[in-house]
Amino acid sequence: MKVVLASASERRQELLGRLIKKFEVMVSDFDESKVKFEGSIDRYVKNVALGKAIDIKDKIIDDAIIISADTIVTLEDKLLGKPKDEEDAFKMIKSLQGRSHFVYSGIVVINTAKNIIKQESLKTEVTFSQISDKEIIEYIKTGEPLDKAGAYGIQGLGGVFVKEIRGCYYNVVGLSLNKLKSMLDEVQ
């Protein structure tokens, strides 16, 4: 059965390639703003990931395993998505420096042949070191933070800011390999 990743994220594609050698990529057109945040970050990321997966499910004809994910950074229960611009990125990174925050990911796996839907979420705690304004500005100039939740990429240049991590590293990158593997085993 074919496997479809419902994500344009190069990071997720690279990570999935470690588990599955052959898969297709279909970018979901799901409007994430349709999912209302109602106080539960866990439920929110799972619902966004589910919306992406259902969008792809509705577009394909053949039976498939569909994988989708959504990742968000939170600081004191405030959601930090992708920054709107460089100024927003600066504010996000500045708010994270010297503090701990949480990265949540929702993962959905659908087996269309068996009509099985699995939803899971993970939470990882990340602590940043102190960062000077100059370091933040230099990092923003690289362009890396502009398409990442929380305005940093742990797997890239932003990893230098990470003092400590508690939980799944790959969750912070955007797709927990361990969690996904167990979910795929359950839906086969």
| Residues 26/188, Cβ–Cβ less than 8 Å | no
Catalytic-labelled residue, pool 31, 55, 70, 88 = 70
Helix axes 133-141, 86-96, angle to 10 degrees: 140
- In sequence order, the 6+-apart residues with CB closer than 8 A to the CB of 5 are 12, 13, 16, 23, 24, 25, 26, 67, 68
* CA–CA distance, 97 with 65 (Å, rounded to integer): 39
Catalytic status, residue 70: yes
As annotated, the active-site residues are 70
